[in-house]
Structure 1
Amino acid sequence: MLEVNVPEQPVVVLHGSDAVLNCSFSPASAFNLSDLSIFWQLTDTKRSVHGYWGGRDQLVDQAERFANRTSLWPVQLGLGNASLLLSSVVVADEGSYTCFVRVQDYGSAALLLLVAAPYSKPVVTLESETNLRPGDELALTCVAYGGYPEAGVIWQDGGGRNLTDNITTSLVANEEGLFMMTSVLTVVLEPNSTYSCGLINPLLGEEGYAFVTITGQNMAFPPVALWVTIGLAVCLLVLLIALAAVCSRKIKESCEEARREAEEAKELEEEESKTAMTLLNS
C-alpha cells in the first residue's frame, strides 16, 4: 500500500486567505505522471474538490463552490508532492479533506481544515446611563463583530473577580458565516464600579478587552428619597415663612407698645407741667 502523509494537527487558515493542504507520498520506484492519479475530496460528503490523472487536471466532477479555487503544483508531482492550494478560504470550507494518491499502489490520508477570523474590538454599553440607583440590577452588553469561530467571553469586575457565571451570550452569523457576538452581564449596581469584557478566539488566542466604569455621576437619588428631600425642603420653607410672620408681628406689637408708653409719658409730663403752673399762679 502506498504511504500518504498529511499533517496530524489541524490546518488553521484566516478567513479570506489561501490555504495549503499538504499531502505527500513516497512511491516505491520512479513513475510517469501519466500513471499518477490524485483525488482530493471532502471526507464526509465525498464531494470532489480536485482531480488529476492522465497527466492533467480533471475537474468535471468538481463541486461548484471549489471552481477556480484549487490547484496542484505540477512540477512537484514527480517528487511526491500532492498538496492542494485552496484560495480565498471561507467558513464553509472548514472540515475534513482526504487526499487519495495512486501510483501502481494506492493510499490515502485525511486532514482537518479550520477557519479563523479575528473579532472587532469589543464595545461595552450600559442598559441606561440615567436614573441609575445603587442596588438596582443593571445589564451591561458586550458586542464584537466579524469573528470565527465562537469566542470565549470573560467578564470581570475591577478586582479581577470572574463574573462569567452571570452572563447570557448569543451568536448571529452573517452571510459569510462570520459571527456577531453579544454577551450580556447582569450586575447589582454599586457606585464607582469597573467591569471588563474580554474575548478569546480559541484558534487565534486573546483578541481584546473593553472596560466600563460606572461613577456617581451616572446615578440619581432613589425616587422615595427624592420626594422626602423635596417634602423636607417645602416644610422648612413654610416654617421659615411662619417664623418670619411671627417675628414681624412681635416686632410690630413691641413698637406700638413703646409708642403708647412714650405718649403716656408725654401726657403725664404735660399734666405735671400744668399742675406746677397752677401752683405758681396761686
Structure 2
Amino acid sequence: MASAGIVLWLLTMVCVSGQNVLNPSVKLDCNKESLGQYGQPSVVECMIMTSRVVNDLTVETIVWKKNGSEVLLVHYNIRKSSPGYSFAEPSWNSKSLNVSLLIANTSVTDHGNYSCMVITDSGSYTSSASLRVTAKYNTPSIHTTTANVTPNSKVTLTCRSEGGYPKGRLGWFVGANAQEDASAETVARVLENGLFSLSTELTLSQGWDSSKYTCVVFNVSGGKDDEASLMIPKMTHLAEQGRDPEVKGLDVPTKVVAPVVVIGSLIVGLLLYLTLKRKHCKREQVPRPGTDPEQGCPREHLLVIPECQETKA
C-alpha cells in the first residue's frame, strides 16, 4: 500500500508538472529575503500570481519547509503545522492567493532558508525564500579595574554588551577626535537563547592623556546599535597640580578619607590648647614667710594669684 501511494503521488506530480507547462500565466512569487526581529512576529512573504486568463484558481496543497524540515502542510481540508507557524492571512482558504508564512514569536532558530511548494488545479509551483533574524544589542556598560587612579597607575577599561544577533563587535573611540583604537579585540560568547554577549578591554598605558573614552556596539551590518562613554580627567593636568584624578561615576574612598583626617587633627589640637590653658590659669596658693607682731614668731601669708583674664587675640 505504501508503494502504491508513492507511485500515485509521483503520477500526480508528473500530471501537475504538465499542467504547469500548459499554464505559464500562474507563478509563485516569494520575497527572496525577509527580515525578522527577535521576539516579534515575522512573515516570510509568498504570493500566487495569476494573469487575467486564470479567473478562478483553487489551491489544493501547500508545503512550507525550513532548512528541509516541514513546518506547515495543507492538503485539501487537512492542515498540519509546527508550533508557532501558521498562515499570515488569518482567514486563509483554498481560494486565497496569499500563502505567506507567519512566525508568531521569532527566535534565533528561525533564521535560515525556506521553501514553499503550491499545488493548484492549474499546476504546481515552487519557490524559495530566506529569513534573516536580527536583535539589537543593549546599551554597553563600562567598568574599570582601578578605583583610585594615580599618574603612575595602569588602568584597564572593560566594555560589555549583550542581547544581540547576529554576532557584532565593540569599538573604542578615544579622545576629542573620537578616533577608533584598532588594538582592542572583541570577544563573543553565545548565550542560552542563541543571542550574543560581547566584551572588549582597553588598557591605558602609563602617562595616558585623554579624557573621554567611548565604547560603541556595532551590529553585523556595521551599523551602530548604541554607545556609552566614560569621563576621566587628563593625567598631565592632574600631575601638575599634584592631585589624583577622580573617575566620574566611581566610588573612590579617598574622597572621604582626606577631609576626615584634616578635621580630626583640628579637633585634637583645639582640645590640647584648652587643657594647657586651664592648667596655666588655675588658681595657685604660694606660701610666703612673715612675722606675727603679737607673738614675735614667723607665720605664713598666703599669696593669692588671681584668675587669668581672657585677652583678645
Q: TM-score, normalised by structure 1?
A: 0.65
Q: State the partner residue of 1:263.
A: none
* Corresponding residue SS for 1:163: strand
Indicate yes or no: 2:40 matched with 1:22: no
Residue among 67, 70, 88 paired with 2:85: 70
Listed as ranges, the matches of 1:128-143 within 5 Å are 128-134=146-152, 137-143=154-160
Q: State the partner residue of 1:97.
A: 114
Indicate yes or no: 2:130 matched with 1:122: no
Q: CA distance change for structure 1 residues 87 and 40 in 2, over 3 Å: closer, same or farther? A: same
Cα distance in 1 between the residues matched to 2:144 and 2:192: 29
Cα distance in 2 between the residues matched to 1:160 and 1:112: 41
Cα distance in 2 between the residues matched to 1:23 and 1:32: 16
Cα distance in 2 between the residues matched to 1:102 and 1:116: 32
Cα deviations by residue, 1:224-270 (Å, 9 ceiling, x for unpaired): xxxxxxxxxxxxxxxxxxxxxxxxxxxxxxxxxxxxxxxxxxxxxxx
Residue among 44, 47, 50 paired with 2:72: 50
Cα distance in 1 between the residues matched to 2:156 and 2:97: 59
Q: State the partner residue of 1:12.
A: 35
Report if the CA contact (8 A) 1:154-1:162 is conserved.
no
Report if the CA contact (8 A) 2:44-2:102 is conserved.
yes
Report if the CA contact (8 A) 2:169-2:198 is conserved.
no
Q: Percent identity?
A: 22
* Corresponding residue SS for 1:25: strand
Cα distance in 2 between the residues matched to 1:164 and 1:149: 23
Cα distance in 2 between the residues matched to 1:32 and 1:193: 69
Cα offset, 1:142, TM superposition? 0.8
Cα offset, 1:110, TM superposition? 1.5
Cα offset, 1:181, TM superposition? 1.0
Aligned-CA RMSD value: 2.4
Cα offset, 1:205, TM superposition? 4.0
Report if the CA contact (8 A) 1:166-1:186 is conserved.
no
Q: CA distance change for structure 1 residues 4 and 132 in 2, over 3 Å: closer, same or farther? A: farther
Q: CA distance change for structure 1 residues 137 and 77 in 2, over 3 Å: closer, same or farther? A: farther
Cα offset, 1:22, TM superposition? 0.9
Q: State the partner residue of 2:272.
A: none
* Corresponding residue SS for 1:58: strand
Residue among 165, 176, 201 paired with 2:182: 165
Cα offset, 1:77, TM superposition? 4.7
Cα offset, 1:88, TM superposition? 0.7
Q: State the partner residue of 1:149.
A: 166
Q: CA distance change for structure 1 residues 113 and 204 in 2, over 3 Å: closer, same or farther? A: farther
Cα distance in 2 between the residues matched to 1:173 and 1:16: 17
Residue among 165, 183, 195 paired with 1:178: 195
Which gives a bigger RCO, structure 1 or 2 (Cα 8 Å, sep 6+)?
1
Cα distance in 2 between the residues matched to 1:107 and 1:164: 53
- Aligned amino acid, residue 39 of structure 1: V
Cα distance in 2 between the residues matched to 1:57 and 1:91: 26
Q: CA distance change for structure 1 residues 19 and 203 in 2, over 3 Å: closer, same or farther? A: farther
Larger radius of gyration: 1
Cα offset, 1:191, TM superposition? 4.1
* Corresponding residue SS for 2:179: coil
Cα distance in 1 between the residues matched to 2:46 and 2:192: 31
Q: State the partner residue of 2:64.
A: 40
* Corresponding residue SS for 2:182: helix
Mean CA deviation greater in 88-97 or 123-132: 123-132
Cα distance in 1 between the residues matched to 2:43 and 2:147: 50
Cα deviations by residue, 1:159-179 (Å, 9 ceiling, x for unpaired): 334334111211122211112
Q: State the partner residue of 1:87.
A: 104
User: Which ranges in structure 1 are unaligned for 5 or more consecutive residues?
Assistant: 60-65, 220-282
* Corresponding residue SS for 2:132: strand
- Aligned amino acid, residue 43 of structure 2: V
Cα offset, 1:98, TM superposition? 0.9
Cα distance in 1 between the residues matched to 2:127 and 2:156: 50
Cα offset, 1:40, TM superposition? 0.6
- Aligned amino acid, residue 38 of structure 1: I
